[in-house]
Amino acid sequence: MKKCPTLLHTLPSLLALCLLLSTMACSAPSSESSATTDIELEEITIADIQAAYEAGTYTIEELTQAYLDRIEAIDQNGPALHSIIITNPDALEIARALDEELAAGNSRGPLHGIPVILKDNIDTQDKMPTTAGSRALANSHPLQDSYLTKQLREAGALILGKANLSEWANFRGQMSSSGWSGVGGQTKNPYVITRNPCGSSAGSGASVSANLTVLAVGTETNGSIVCPSHANGIVGIKPTVGLISRSGVIPISFTQDTPGPMARTVRDAAIGLAGMIGIDPADSKTLDSENKTYDDYTQFLKADGLAGKRIGVYTQPLGNHYKVDSLFAQAVAFMESQGAEIIELEQLVDGTAGRHSFQIMLYEYKDGLNKYFASLGPDAPIKSVEELIAFNQADSIELKHYDQRYLEMAQEKGPLEEEAYQEALSEMMRLSREEGIDKVMEENQLQAIIAPTGSPAWQTDWVNGDHFQLGSSSPAARAGYPNITVPMGFVDELPVGISFFGQAWTEPLLIEIAYGFEQGTKHRRAPRFLTED
C-alpha cells in the first residue's frame, strides 16, 4: 500500500489524477488542514484541549471551527469517509456561549468545551434530526434530548454532530453491510478506505479514529461498540447495562442495549463515561446502578494495572485467524511480564444462549420501536413497525442492498407477556450470568476475561454483506456485562483490538487493567487513509 499527499481543498485536476492512479492511495489532509486556525488536531486528547483553553492558546469556538473544517475536508471531501451524517448548525454559537462561561471563571469540568459526536440513534432536541440512518426518519425531530445527551450538555460537552451507522443499528435485515445507511451512505474505514469500519457504531468509530472529534458515543446490543472500536483502532467501553440510560435512544433490546464512549485513549473514554452516567426514572435498568457509579473514572487509571491480576482467556475466538492469534499471544506474554496470571478457560457460556438472545431481541425490538415512535408525538413520520416495513418496501433506496427480514420477524412477534419471551429471557440470563460469566470468574477467582475483539477489517461488499471471521462480544453482551476494547496491534495496515470483560459493575477494575495494557504497549497510531493496491 502507498499513499500520496493531497491539499486541504483538493483541486479537481489533482482529484482526477488520484482517481487515474488506481494503484496508488491518496491520504487525507493532515490535521493542520484547518483554513482558519493552526490547531493541531491529530491525536489530541481531552487533557491537551483543556490545557490549551486554560493557557488561552485557542478558544472553544476556534477548536470547533477547526473540527468543522477537518470534517469538511476529510469526511465530505478527500477520502470522503461518510462517518458523519450531519454537523450541528448551532455548534459555533454553542461554543461561544461555553467560551463566555470559561471567561467568567466557570468551568463545568473535564468535558467543558469538548466536541462530541453522537451516533444518530441518540435523540437530540435541536436542528439535527435523529434518523437511525433510515430515510423513514430523515426529518424526524424528537420532542426532547435523550437522557445521556442532557447529561453531556450539562457537563459542558459540545454536541458537534451525528454519526453515520449501520441502519437501525444493524438489525434490519440479512446480508447487510456494516456502516451503510439509507441516509448516510457507506462509512469507510480510515486505515484502508476500501475496508469496512464494522458496526453498528461505524461512524462513531471512524470519526474518532480519523481525528474528526476527540470523543464519540456509540451504542451496543452485541458488538456494536467494541467491533467498530477494534476495526478503527480506538478504545471503546461497552458498560454494564443500566450504567447509562437508554431513554431517547432508538432501541433494539431492552435487555442488552447500552450506549458507551469511544475515544483514542482509555483516559478519554473514562472521562466520557463519567459524563453520561446517571439514574433515569424513564429507564428502570438504571435503578440498579445506584451506589455503583463514580463521578471520576480516571482515578482507576494505573500504569501497573496488570500487576497481580488473575485473567482468564476466552479461547473460542482463537484458531480462526493465525495472524490475530499471533498478536493475541504477544499480548498475553506482555501481561504475564507485567505480573498478571493467565488462566485458560475451557468453556465460558452454553451455546444455546445465542438462540434465546435472538428471540429476545425480536420481541423487544417490536415493543421498543413502537414505543419510540409513540414518543415522537402525533407528527411522527412513522408510527409503527408495520408502517416502517411498508415505507421500506415503497422506497427506492432502502432495500437496494439488503432486505428487512429482521423487522418482518419482529413484527410477527406478540407482546412481552408471551410465555415464549419470558422463558427465553430467563434462560439467557441464567446461562450467560449464573451459569456463565459469574460462575467461571468466581470458580477461577478472575478479575477479567480477555479475547481478541475481532479480525482485521474486511473489504466492504454490498453484494455478499459482512465477512466476520471471529468475535468475542457475545458473552458480555448477552449478560449485560461490561466490555472494554483496546488496540492490540496491526495486521498489515489494519488495526486489531483486545477485549477485557467481566462481571456487572466492574468498570473500575476493567479500566485499570485495560489502561495498564494500553500504557505498556501503545499500539494506537493514526490512520493514513490508504486504498488497496
CATH of residue 219's domain is 3.90.1300.10
- In-domain check, residue 283: yes
The kind and range of the H/E element at 509 are: helix 507-521
The CA-atom distances, in angstroms, between 487 and each of 229, 248, 454, 490 are 8, 30, 11, 8
Q: Is 119 a catalytic residue?
A: yes
The rounded Cα 38 to chain-centroid distance in angstroms is: 29
**Which among 1, 45, 43 has a CA at the least distance from the CA of 24?**
1
| pLDDT the model gives residue 434 | 98
C-alpha cell belonging to residue 22: 488506481
Given the residues 181, 200, 204, 473, the one annotated as active site:
200
- In-domain check, residue 234: yes
- In-domain check, residue 391: no
Sign of CA dihedral 250, 213, 529, 233: negative
Cβ(3)–Cβ(530) under 8 Å? yes
Give the span between the Cα atoms of 144 and 164, in whole angstroms.
21
Q: What's the domain count of the chain?
A: 1
**Which among 388, 456, 17, 434 has a CA at the least distance from the CA of 194?**
456
Q: Is 3 a catalytic residue?
A: no
For residue 59, give the 3-state DSSP assignment: coil
Give the span between the Cα atoms of 231 and 213, in whole angstroms.
17
Q: Is 337 a catalytic residue?
A: no
Cβ(114)–Cβ(215) under 8 Å? yes
Give the span between the Cα atoms of 376 and 387, in whole angstroms.
14
The rounded Cα 41 to chain-centroid distance in angstroms is: 20
- In-domain check, residue 290: yes
The kind and range of the H/E element at 63 are: helix 60-70
| pLDDT the model gives residue 25 | 37
**Which among 65, 78, 60 has a CA at the least distance from the CA of 35?**
65
C-alpha cell belonging to residue 332: 498475553
- In-domain check, residue 531: no
Given the residues 201, 224, 229, 247, the one annotated as active site:
224
- In-domain check, residue 357: no
- In-domain check, residue 392: no
Given the residues 119, 238, 285, 366, the one annotated as active site:
119
For residue 259, list its beta bridge partners.
219
Name the DSSP letter for residue 530.
Answer: B
The rounded Cα 324 to chain-centroid distance in angstroms is: 21
Strand residue runs (E) in 414-492 = 448-452, 483-491
Give the span between the Cα atoms of 205 and 75, in whole angstroms.
13
Give the span between the Cα atoms of 207 and 233, in whole angstroms.
11
Q: Tens place of pLDDT for every residue, the chain, 533 residues? A: 433 332 223 323 332 323 222 222 334 443 333 334 589 999 999 999 999 999 999 999 999 999 999 999 999 999 999 999 999 999 999 999 999 999 999 999 999 999 999 999 999 999 999 999 999 999 999 999 999 999 999 999 999 999 999 999 999 999 999 999 999 999 999 999 999 999 999 999 999 999 999 999 999 999 999 999 999 999 999 999 999 999 999 999 999 999 999 999 999 999 999 999 999 999 999 999 999 999 999 999 999 999 999 999 999 999 999 999 999 999 999 999 999 999 999 889 999 999 999 999 999 999 999 999 999 999 999 999 999 999 999 999 999 999 999 999 999 999 999 999 999 999 999 999 999 999 999 999 999 999 999 999 999 999 999 999 999 999 999 999 999 999 999 999 999 999 999 999 999 999 999 999 999 999 999 999 999 96
- In-domain check, residue 373: no
| pLDDT the model gives residue 18 | 31
For residue 23, list its beta bridge partners.
none
Phi, psi of 216 (to 5 degrees): -135, 165
State the residue range of the domain holding 474. Answer: 12-350+428-521
C-alpha cell belonging to residue 316: 473460542
